[in-house]
Structure 1
Amino acid sequence: MTNPDDKSGARLTKSKTCQERSIKVNQIHYMHKIKDDLCGAGRPVPWIQLKGYWLQQAGFEINTPVKVRVMDGCLVLTTE
């Protein structure tokens, strides 16, 4: 039987704090073309804007490529 307090076989990881931020999904309208005419304001498309110095502190420097993993109800952003 193993001792649950024994950490000798456990993988060591650095402890990092996780901070939550609240944002809202907004909408933006894409212009679309029917034949040669632009139509109205277009249809609404979901839009999320992220900005702030906290991105840099999290390792997202300016011009850094970002990978977006998409799951049902979840987006995961990682630097490449």
Structure 2
Amino acid sequence: MANANHKSRAPVTERFVTVQKSARHHSLSTVLRAIRAQRKLNTTYCPWIKLAGVWLEEAGFEAGERVRITVEDKRLIITPL
């Protein structure tokens, strides 16, 4: 009978990341219009998330592969195409 590997871990099925924000860039025409009108452009921000790690490969995703992102209320579902 083979010895059981008592040090093996169960696969992690949850990951936690923080939603970041980056300033949105205005088009050149929008900037020029604001300069001509002598008004200040408000900075708006765009949220983003970076997903990276071996766990993506373990979940069945490959580098360069296209994915579908389904958007639901406070939920993103990512599936390979």
TM-score with structure 2 length normalisation? 0.66
Question: What residue number does 1:43 align with?
Answer: 44
* SS of residue matched to 1:67: strand
Q: Which deviations, in whole Å up to 9, do the C-alpha atoms of 1:44-70 show, x marking residues without a partner? A: 101011011111111110011100000
* SS of residue matched to 1:56: helix
Q: Which runs of 4+ in 1 moved over 3 A?
A: 39-42
Q: How many residues align?
A: 64
Consecutive unaligned residues in structure 1, runs of 5 or more:
1-16
Consecutive unaligned residues in structure 2, runs of 5 or more:
1-10, 34-39
Matched, 1:29 2:13: no
Query: Which structure shows the bigger proportion of residues in helix conformation?
Result: 2
Matched, 1:53 2:54: yes
Rounded to whole Å, the distance in 1 between the matches of 2:32 and 2:20 is: 29
CA contact (8 A) 1:66 1:78 kept: yes
- Give the share of equivalent positions with the same residue, in percent: 32
> Using CA pairs below 8 Å that are at least 6 residues apart, which structure has the higher relative contact order?
2
Instruction: Give the letter for the 1:24 counterpart.
Output: T
C-alpha RMSD over aligned residues? 2.5
Query: Which structure shows the bigger proportion of residues in strand conformation?
Result: 1
Correspondence list, 1:4-19, <5 A: 19=13
